[in-house]
Amino acid sequence: MPSSVPPFSELLANTHKSAVHLEMRDNYGTNPRLEAWQRGERVDWDNQESWWHPFHQSIKDAVARGVIVRRARVISEPVSEYIRWEHYVTQANVIAGEDVRWLPRSHATGFLVPANDFWLFDGNLIRFHHFGGDGRHVMDELNTDAGTLGLCVAAFEEVWQHATPHSEYTI
């Protein structure tokens, strides 16, 4: 079924002040970069051309326009292999201009968070991500409901306030 949700790059290109991303899964399925890491291959961070993707350019362009891009990840500990890999490749997000933080799930008890990961653009548009039980992406959904926006803003800020900056979080 074709999606009516615009691509992430388009949503971010229309963002003026902030884009925040809340992730709460310990596994997002498999992909070729994860499989390469599992085989022992590592990123040559000095060779940006080898790992730079259009996603990173979208983030860099937004940050250059003054958009603040933050990502918070709520994770289980001990971490899954997927999260171990994700922590490793987060260096690319940081180089692109994202501010990334990590919050162990055990430190989030008592927080109210949505059941789905999301991107929130300028505090007025949410792009929810729906995943299957195997971690694979199923679909995205846009939402502009004021009540839902308020809940997502509050949830993200609560997680952000308690999370550890990427440079300080070790696995």
> How do the domains of the chain map onto residue ranges?
8-41+49-168
For residue range 14-46, list pLDDT tens digits in order.
999 999 999 999 999 999 999 999 999 999 999
pLDDT, one tens digit per residue, over 48-73 is: 999 999 999 999 999 999 999 999 99
Length of the chain, in residues = 171
Model confidence at 1, in pLDDT bands (50, 70, 90)? Answer: very low
Pure H helices in the chain: 8-13, 32-38, 48-51, 54-64, 81-96, 146-162
Residue 87 has pLDDT above 70, yes or no: yes
Provide the β-strand partners of residue 69. Answer: 19
- Quote the pLDDT of residue 134: 87
Residues in Cβ contact with 170 at an 8 Å cutoff, skipping those fewer than 6 apart: none
Query: What's the fold here for domain 8-41+49-168?
Result: Endonuclease; Chain A (3.30.870)
**Cβ burial, residue 34 (10 Å; 0-12/13-18/19+):** middle
**Residue 171: closest CA among 71, 52, 89:** 89
Average pLDDT over residues 3-24: 96
What pLDDT, in 10s, does the model give residues 98-157?
A: 999 999 999 999 999 999 999 999 999 999 999 998 889 999 999 999 999 999 999 999
What is the enclosing helix (H) or strand (E) of 117? strand 117-121
Q: What is the DSSP letter of 2?
A: -
pLDDT recorded at residue 47: 97
